[in-house]
Copies of this chain bind each other. A is one copy, B any other.
Amino acid sequence: MEKVVLIFKDYLRKRGLKFTPEREVVLREVFSLHKHFDAEQLYQNLYKRKKKISRASVYRTLPLLVRAGLITETLRCQGRTSYEHIFGHGHHDHMLCIGCGKVIEFRSEKIEKLQKEICRKYGFKPVEHRLGIKGYCRECQKKIKMKKKLPLDREK
């Protein structure tokens, strides 16, 4: 944890930005969470714990953390930009269950390698990539079977 504080401080100092209490609170909150989150959730968490930080500051801090290489945007669920931290966590891809919203993380070296190859073929210099698979997790598949029919888009 103190490591990420140092990294962030360093990032800020190098471009003449300031390490404020607000930014520190956001940073620590982000790294105390161990799953995906979005700006509003983060704000609510802090608000409940009487950390009086404005929404604007939360929204302004998250992009800084992205640029500092500490967090990254993930798959966008229902309209909100969602983040996760990447420091000491490494890149991975996601499966997102349409039924219950559960997120499964996975990593495949083979897929990573294939992507690089393809980029090379197109003369494309990759900066980041995102692979998201939507579908149904084991549990939700069972539920669906029990209901026999998916009520989502059935025919008349």
A positions within 8 Å CB-CB of B: 14-16, 67, 76, 95, 97-98, 104, 106, 108, 110-111, 114-115, 118-119, 122-138, 141, 153-156
Contacts and interface: CB of A to CB of B under 8 A. Distances in A.
Nearest to A142: B123
A135 B126 CA distance: 4
Contacts of A98: 127
Contacts of A134: 126-129
A13 B148 CA distance: 24
Contacts of A133: 115, 119, 124, 126, 128-129
Given A111-B111, A115-B111, A156-B15, A129 B132 contact: yes
Given A14-B156, A15-B154, A15-B156, 10 more contacts: A76-B76, A95-B119, A104-B124, A108-B118, A110-B114, A124-B133, A124-B135, A124-B136, A127-B135, A130-B131
